Structures are given as C-alpha cells and as structure tokens.
Amino acid sequence: MSAPILELREVEAGYGPFRALFGVSLAVGAGEAVALVGANGAGKTTLARVASGLLVPSAGSVHVDGAQIEAGVTAAWRFVRAGVMHAPEGRSVFASLTVEENLALSFQRAFGRAGLAGGLDRAYELFPRLGERRGQIAGTLSGGEQRMLSLARVLVESPRLLIADELSLGLAPMVVDQVFETLSQIRATGTALLIVEQQVGHALELCDRAAVLEHGLITWQGPSNEAGAVLESRLFESGAPH
Amino acid sequence: MILASGFFEDLFRGVLQGTPPGAVYALIALGFVLTYKTSGVFNLAFGAQAYISAAMYFKVHSVWGWPKWAALLVSVFVLAPLVGLVLERAIFRHLRTASAVSKLVVTIGLSVALPEIFNWAARFSAVAGRQITGIVPDGAGVYYDPFGIYRFNRDELAMMAVALAGTLLLAALFRFTMMGLSMRAVVESPRMTELSGVNANRVSAFAWALSSTFAGMAGVLIAPRFNSLSSGDYFTLVIIAVAAAATGLLISLPRALLGGLGLGWFIAVFNTFLPGLADDHTWLRPFQENLTPSLPFVVLFAILVLWRAVGRQREASDPLAGVDPPPPALAALERHPKLTMFTRLFGVFFVTVVGLVVWFRADVLWMSLVTKAVIIALIYLSVTVITGMGGQISLCQGTFAAIGGFTVFQMADRFNMSVLAAALIGAALAAVVGALLSLPVLRLGGVWLAIATLAFAFFFDAVMVKFSWVGGGSTALLTGTQVPRPLIGPIDFASDRAFLVLAVVALVVVSVVVIQLREGTIGRTLAALRGSEVAAASIGISAARARIVAFAVSAAIAGLGGALLAMHQQNVNYALNFAPIVALFWLVVVVALGSRTVEGAIQAGAAFALFEPLILQGELLGWIVRGEERLPEFFPLSGNWRLILFGLMAMQFARHPEGLVEHGKRRSATRINGWLEAREARA
C-alpha cells in the first residue's frame, strides 16, 4: 500500500503558551475525502495550518508522501510543490494586488507562462464576478468576493490534496452550492480533500470519511454516513449539525 | 538659447541648476521606494548601505589604484548585494511580521553601526578634501552646455541617466516579471505567498540583494558631490529623499523620480529668487538665511501633513497574522510571588549600595556621570509614555528636551529667573509644542509619524536654534548657552551631591507620574488603541484625545529632563545633547532595552550614560582585577566600539522586539518559576 499523501503523527501545536492540539494523528490517502468537524475552538483551523506547513508543530511530525517535512513558516511552499494546497479561512487574499495578480501568482508557477491565460479563464468561468473585477485591487472587493478569489486559486489548480478551511463562510447559499459542486467535480478527477466546515451536512455529503475534533483531540473517526449519528449524540457548543 | 525676459531665463537656469541635486534625491528616493516595496522596511539604513559602497569604491580605486570598472564591480556588484543578503538573513527575515516601530528602530541602529563596522573592518577613514572620482572618465572635468545658460558635467549626466534608466528597468521588473509580483506579495504576507507555492525566503533575499545593489550604485554616483565621504551626509540625504519618495506614497517609482527632480528644482528656484526678494524686502532676510538649509525638511513636513493620501495610507495587514503567537504579557506579571519579592528586595539593596558607593566614594567625574544617567533616564521616560504606552514613535524627543534646556537658558539669561521655575515653564512650553505638533501629525500612521517628527527635529535644528530668542544667536556663540545651578533658600545645588539628590527626586516624581498615567484612564485607553484602533473606536474611545495628552505629557517630561541636563552641565550644549542624531540614538537604546516599563527606561539611561566609562574605558574590569595597570593592553577601547556595539544591540533587538531587558527577565522568570514549582511539588 502506498503512503498516504498527508499524514500527521501525534501532532501537538499551539500559539505561544496556548496549546490547541494535543497529540492528533490523521491520514489522508490519495483520492480520499475527509471531513473534519468539531465545535468552535476545538482546534480545526490549527490542524489545517499544521497540515499545510503554516504552523510548526511543537511535537509530533508531518509527512507528505511518506517523507517527513520540516514544517515552518518558511516551508509551506514545499507542501504546495508536493501538491498539498491550502485555502485558509477568512479573507486570505493579497489586499494590495489586483484580482488578476492574486491569481497569476499561483497559476504562473502551476501552469507556466503559457498556461497562465487558460488558468485565469477557468477561474473567471467558475466565478464570473471575479472576471468582471479582474483589474480591481483585491482589498476593495467585498468579503464574499475575496472568499471567491481565495477559492478560485485552489479550485482551478486541482492539487493532489486540497485543504479547505471554512470555505462556505461569508458566501451566499447559491454560491456555496456551486462551490461544493466544484469540489465534487475536482474530487472526481482524483483530488483528495480535507474539509473543515461548519456546514456539516454539506461536508459529510461530499466526503467519505469524517473525523471529530474535540478540545484538541480526535475523538472519533469513521465513515461519514455514520458521523451524523455520532454528532447528534454529542452536545456541541455551537454549529449544530443539520 | 535666448529667452524673452530675464525672469524666465532665471527660472530656467534655476531648473537646470536644480536638476543634478534633484537627480541625487531621485536616486536615493528610488532605492528607498525599491526597498520599501520589496521588503516592507522603511529603511533609514539605506544611506549607510550607499556609504559602504562609496567608501569601498574610494578604497579600491583611489587607494589601491585599481581601474574604475574593477572598483565599480567590487563595490557595487559584489559588496553591495552581499551586504543586502547578510542583512536579510541575519536581521530582516526575523522582522517580516514585526511592527513598523521595531523595523524602524533596527534600521536606525544599522544606519549608525554599518558605516562604523565597515570603517573598522576595511580600516577606512575618509580624508577631507580628497574627492571621490566619478565612474565616468574625467567626469568632473568635461562640461556640456546644451542651452547656453548652465553647464552639466559628465558625472551629473551619468547620475541623471542612471536615475532614468533605473526607473524604467525597475518599473518593468515589477510590471512584467514573476519575481516583481512575488516581491510585492511577500511584503504583504510571506505566508500567503508560500501558500501560492513561492519560496518567500528566496524572494526576499533577492529583493534585499537588489535594493542593496541600487543603494551601492546611488552611493558611488553621488559621492563626487561631497568634499569628503561621511556617513552622516548620506543619512541626511535619505531623510530628504523621503520627501520625494512620499510623493509616490513610497510605492510609485516614477513619482519618486519626479518627486526627487521636483524637489531639486523647487529648492534651486527658491534660492534663485529669494535673495533678490530679500534685498527688496528686508523682513524676508532672516527667513532667507535660515530657511534655505532646512527647505527639504520643510517640504517633507508639508507633504506629510498637508497631503491627505499619506494620512490615509495604512500598511496592508497580513491575513494570516493569526498564525503568530500573540505578544506575551510583561514577565513581571507571570513571576512567582517569591521571585517578585526577591527581585524587589534585591533592587532596593542594589540601589542602596550603588547610592552609598556614589555618595561616599565617587569623585567629581563619577558623580557627574551618575547624575547624567539619572537625568537621561528621566528623559527616557518620555519615550516610555509615547512609544511604550502609546505604541507610536516620535523622533523629536531631543527637540522637546532642547526646548526645556533653551527655556531655562533664556529665562535665566534675560530675566534672571529662578532656574527651577524656568524648568517648569520649559516643560510646559514643550508640552504646548508637543500638543500643537501632535494635531497635524497624529493622524499619520506608523512610520509616517516617525518621519514627520524627524522632519520637525531637523527643522528645529536647522532654523529655530539659530534664532537669538531660542539658541541665543551670536552672543551664545561667544559665551555659550550658560545655565546656572538652582538655589532653593539655603540649599545651593551648585554642589554636585545636592544636584544629584535633586535629579533623583525628579526621576522618582516623574516615574510615579508615568506609572499613574499607565494605570489610569489614559493608559488603558492607549493600551486599547494599541490593540486595535477600530475596536477601540467602536466602544466609544476617542483616539485623538488620548494621543494628544500622551504627546503633551511625553514632551513635558522630555522638556523637564532637558532643563535638568542643561542645569547639570551648566550649559545647554545643544549639538552635543539634543541634536536630531543624538535623539535617534536615545530612541534606539531605550526601545531596544525596553520601552514598556519604568525600569526599562532607568536601565537604558544608565546604559547610555555609563556604558562607555564603565565598560569601554575598562573601569569595571579595572576594579575587578584591582588596578588599572593590570588591564589588558587594548583598554581603553576606542569610542567607535560604542557605535558598533550599539548596532549589535539593534540587531539583537530584531530577535526580541519586546526589548532585551524584558526578554532576559522572561527567560530567567521562566527558569526560576520552573525551579520553584518543582521544589514546591517535592515538598
């Protein structure tokens, strides 16, 4: 059996004196889709950051394709080059660059100078709103539009593994449906997914496996169709499942 | 070319005459913009980088006698990028997500230390009168006169050509290349750039090498304009060039070029016409005499204050800033209660022992040094208020102190007033000036505030000090700005011991005021504003009021300290004590050691005043080995070591932006806390 694309082993991580993860192990294999669910403050975003190389774990290790990667602020690009892409939560765009420059920064590396125009076209097809505003400074876009820009970058590239953190946050319901539609399309082409999502229903529908994170520990892992029942039986502080 | 009237000919000649200096400003402004755009650092050390290459060029060409092309290659295309790479790797990589204040402090430190380190390492010292020869053959000797009214030499033409070509090339780099795009992206968010698959470290290393090369090029091209190489001249040029860079909001290269040229033209035209006008209208004369040297600073100040776009510009924040751990609380709050008690007891013990030793054993020199340390600590408390509490950086604290000093001098000299009363008036006057200054500059964010205050300091230095009602005018040149010691009833503070007591009392009073301020409404408000201005505004906090008060209080403290320093030395000694460069020095010392606490200010004051005699002159070591004759031969160390160590301190600060003393305290508190807890667990 080949090594999983991404594997976290006994990872502990946090911010300064605050600990957010206490020994988390999780693996995502090729073509697999995993939903990561949990209450606010359970450590989901921290886990996503460790998984994409943004945050250095204070203990444990992160492996991409079986090889341990030395994580850190300066190593996230290695994850990207290995095909692990991360769409961080919130308005994660370069506010001072234009929409097109934001996309070009990723696409030129991924598709080369020749493939740049094709990549931009696909992004504007996915989110026509971005095409209308291609020359606009990204910082002046609305919250939802910035979200689209941040997603367009990763959705168009169809990486080997896509880590998406709260991607539906701030988007209109119709756009959310469209985003999940796109996700299932790129899944069909072989992209593995690690989805962190408050809209549990959507996420579980898309994924075949689920992991429940509570207080920095994974307390349950299993097929996603069983996760609904597990979540019902546990009391969440917020983000009730539907 | 014949022009219709004398006026237009004069105007045109003024413009031509202003073009070469304009090209100098443009070159520096371009490099400054380049650094800011590609690294996000408001690089006041740019002049130091330029100086290093110019000095290396001089050494290689004029001293070693290598050909010009080889000198250019070594100084600009080898040494300069190397300096940039080292700076990036050793310092600025760690500062990417640091605050604007920390970055600025580090670059100020570097601007002093880099030239000294180079001079020491290369055994270089500029000889006055030995001019640098430019890079083009016979650059200073061959003239061209395209319009028949003003001649340009080849060096000047080379400078203008490089400025123009540099603008075009760099603009093309940013517009058309992936590297240009990546450099802009890294400045905004290194992490987001990494998430796009770009190696942010490599990009920023390239950016520093590039901007440093440009600095070196500018340094070598400009050098023939100086009589002798001095890093101070380069530093002043950078401050002036900031005015040109500001016209493009620090990001537009073409505007920096035009801004630099425009500044050169404006100054030249001004100088062409003002003397004539002043001949006709005598009331203009003092302005003409005083304003000319400071014109660039006036222009800079005017641009910053009057041009609204500068005030509105904010640094784009990193959307992934949340990945960084939050700044830790003060170590003192996390200490074990036993440790706190022990620290206090030890503090009292240490101060008592030092006090007793100074009181009974110190000679005149040491008494005077300790008094100076106490007064400098008092002045540093003004930085604690504005930077430590307010989170804003003011580079004109020396000016406020000078206002205090000059007020005492004027009041005592003219009205024979009691100097203590005059000191209070001086503090009040400084507070008024501080409040007035804060009105236009406070809406500026981050580094702009720093530059506006620096422009004010240079303006005061170049214009105000020369007025007889401030600096004493021509009489002061003969007799000095003398200030008597105070006299209260029977107590004559002419005695050094009595004056030391007075200084200590003043320090204690001001410390209590600062602590009260920090714990009170103003302090809490400032803390909230430091956290988030928007969030503070949303709960009804007025940023303006708290900041004006902080500025005024800070200015008053500095004014009082300046007055005391003048009394102590019985002379204002403006150039030695309060000149803008000295004030920059102050700021770096206090911010690097710790500007958040009162102890930090006191320790910084002691370090500033006592480091040189204690450590460099070997007094401390001499006391340890008992006897000066046993000191190693390299003592006393040269004063230049002070500047180099100062730079090293600034570099250390880059790693510990909370302040070095605070960093040490936290480290020891963590260790001792662990030890104490382990012991309690055993018991």
When divided into structural domains, chain B yields a total of 2
Q: State how far residue B328 is from chain A, nearest Cα, in angstroms.
A: 8
What's the pLDDT score for residue A239? Answer: 47
Percent of chain B at pLDDT exceeding 70:
90
Q: State how far residue A95 is from chain B, nearest Cα, in angstroms.
A: 7
Q: Residue A225's CB: how many other CB atoms inside 10 A?
A: 12
Structure confidence at residue B127 as a pLDDT band (50, 70, 90): low
**Residues B266 and B170 placed together within one structural domain of the fold:** yes
Mean pLDDT along residues B524-532: 83
When mean pLDDT is compared across A93-102, B28-37, B486-495, the lowest value belongs to B486-495
Residues in chain A closer than 8 A to B184 (CB atoms): 94, 96-97, 101
User: Where does a domain end: B606, B639, B657?
Assistant: B606
A85 and B192 within 8 Å at the Cβ level: the answer is: no
> Is the pLDDT reported for residue B2 higher than 60?
no
Residues in chain A closer than 8 A to B189 (CB atoms): 94
**Residues B373 and B274 placed together within one structural domain of the fold:** no
Give domain status of residue B308, yes or no.
Answer: no
**Residues B267 and B394 placed together within one structural domain of the fold:** no
**Residues B374 and B245 placed together within one structural domain of the fold:** no
Cα gap A203→A205, rounded to integer Å = 5
Closest-CA residue of B relative to A87 is B195
| Chain segment A136-185, per-residue pLDDT in tens | 999 888 888 888 898 888 888 888 999 988 888 878 888 888 888 888 88
Which whole-number Å values give the CA distances from B509 to B95, B220, B502, B597, B618, in the listed order?
36, 51, 11, 15, 33
The reply to whether B95 touches chain A by the CB within 8 Å rule is no
What's the pLDDT score for residue B403? Answer: 95
Report the DSSP beta bridge partners of residue A14. A19
**Mapping DSSP to helix (H, G, I), strand (E, B) and coil, where does residue A22 land?**
strand
Cα gap B24→B96, rounded to integer Å = 29
The reply to whether B200 touches chain A by the CB within 8 Å rule is yes
What's the pLDDT score for residue B292? Answer: 66
Structure confidence at residue A238 as a pLDDT band (50, 70, 90): very low
Contact A126, A153 (CB under 8 A): no
Contact B163, B264 (CB under 8 A): no
Contact A144, A172 (CB under 8 A): yes
Cα gap B316→B512, rounded to integer Å = 38
A217-223 β-sheet, strand order: A84-87, A161-165, A192-196, A33-38, A209-214, A217-223
Q: Residue A27's CB: how many other CB atoms inside 10 A?
A: 16
Residue in B179, B187, B191 to test binding to A, most A beta-carbons within 10 Å: B191
What's the pLDDT score for residue A173? Answer: 87
Residues in chain A closer than 8 A to B200 (CB atoms): 74, 77
What's the pLDDT score for residue B113? Answer: 86
**Residues B116 and B259 placed together within one structural domain of the fold:** yes
Which whole-number Å values give the CA distances from B243 to B291, B381, B409, in the listed order?
16, 30, 34
Cα gap B153→B161, rounded to integer Å = 12
Give domain status of residue B431, yes or no.
Answer: yes
Scanning B634-663 for CB atoms below 8 A from A yields none
Give domain status of residue B119, yes or no.
Answer: yes
Closest-CA residue of B relative to A90 is B319
The reply to whether A93 touches chain B by the CB within 8 Å rule is yes
| Chain segment B341-371, per-residue pLDDT in tens | 888 898 889 888 888 888 888 788 888 889 9
What's the pLDDT score for residue B145? Answer: 82
| Chain segment B63-77, per-residue pLDDT in tens | 888 998 999 999 999
How big is the CA angle at B396 (ends B289 and B267), to the nearest 5 degrees?
35
Q: Which of B181, B201, B324 sits opposite A105 (nearest CB)?
A: B181
**Residues B122 and B222 placed together within one structural domain of the fold:** yes
Question: Best-predicted range by mean pLDDT among A128-142, B220-234, B579-593?
Answer: A128-142
Contact A47, A25 (CB under 8 A): no
Residues in chain B closer than 8 A to A90 (CB atoms): 319
Which is nearest to B514 in space by CA: B554, B546, B544, B547?
B554
Give domain status of residue B39, yes or no.
Answer: yes
**Residues B275 and B372 placed together within one structural domain of the fold:** no
Q: Which residue has the tokens 């003192």?
A: B332
Q: How many CB pairs under 8 A join A and B?
A: 96
Give domain status of residue B634, yes or no.
Answer: no
**Residue A211, H or E segment:** strand A209-214
User: Where does a domain end: B280, B312, B327?
Assistant: B280
How big is the CA angle at A196 (ends A235 and A47), to the nearest 5 degrees?
95
Structure confidence at residue A240 as a pLDDT band (50, 70, 90): very low
| Chain segment A187-231, per-residue pLDDT in tens | 888 899 999 887 788 888 888 899 988 888 898 888 888 887 777
Residues in chain B closer than 8 A to A85 (CB atoms): 195
| Chain segment B535-587, per-residue pLDDT in tens | 888 888 888 888 899 999 999 999 999 999 999 988 888 888 888 888 888 88
Mean pLDDT along residues A64-69: 83
The reply to whether B478 touches chain A by the CB within 8 Å rule is no
Catalogue the long-range contacts made by B121-126 (C-beta closer than 8 Å, 24 or more residues apart): B122/B55, B122/B56, B122/B59, B124/B55, B124/B58, B124/B59, B126/B55, B126/B58, B126/B228, B126/B229, B126/B230
CATH number at residue B190: 1.10.3470
Biggest CA–CA distance in chain A, Å, is: 53
The reply to whether A142 touches chain B by the CB within 8 Å rule is no
**Mapping DSSP to helix (H, G, I), strand (E, B) and coil, where does residue A108 land?**
helix
B194 and A54 within 8 Å at the Cβ level: the answer is: yes
**Paired tokens of A127:** 């989110």
A93 and B319 within 8 Å at the Cβ level: the answer is: yes
Residues in chain B closer than 8 A to A14 (CB atoms): 325
ipTM above 0.85, yes or no: yes
More confident residue, B129 or B595: B595
User: Where does a domain end: B220, B247, B280?
Assistant: B280
Give domain status of residue B323, yes or no.
Answer: no
Domain that holds residue B580: 368-606
> Is the pLDDT reported for residue B314 higher than 70?
no
The reply to whether A83 touches chain B by the CB within 8 Å rule is no
Contact B222, B159 (CB under 8 A): yes
Give domain status of residue B133, yes or no.
Answer: yes
The reply to whether B13 touches chain A by the CB within 8 Å rule is no
| Chain segment B167-223, per-residue pLDDT in tens | 899 989 988 888 999 988 888 888 888 888 888 889 989 999 999 999 999 999 888
Report the DSSP beta bridge partners of residue A19. A14
What's the pLDDT score for residue B290? Answer: 66
Report the DSSP beta bridge partners of residue B143. B153
Question: Which domains does chain A possess?
Answer: 6-92+160-233 (3.40.50.300)
**Residues B396 and B274 placed together within one structural domain of the fold:** no
**Residues B131 and B265 placed together within one structural domain of the fold:** yes
Alpha helices in B541-659 (DSSP H): 543-569, 574-577, 580-593, 598-611, 619-624, 640-655
Give domain status of residue B601, yes or no.
Answer: yes
> Is the pLDDT reported for residue A236 higher than 90?
no
> Is the pLDDT reported for residue B476 higher than 80?
no
Structure confidence at residue B3 as a pLDDT band (50, 70, 90): very low
Q: Which residue has the tokens 């920095």?
A: A216
Residues in chain A closer than 8 A to B188 (CB atoms): 94-97
Scanning B163-192 for CB atoms below 8 A from A yields 178, 181-182, 184-185, 188-192
What's the pLDDT score for residue B284? Answer: 67
Biggest CA–CA distance in chain B, Å, is: 100
**Residues B377 and B246 placed together within one structural domain of the fold:** no
> Helices then strands (H, E): number in chain B?
31, 4
> Helices then strands (H, E): number in chain A?
8, 10
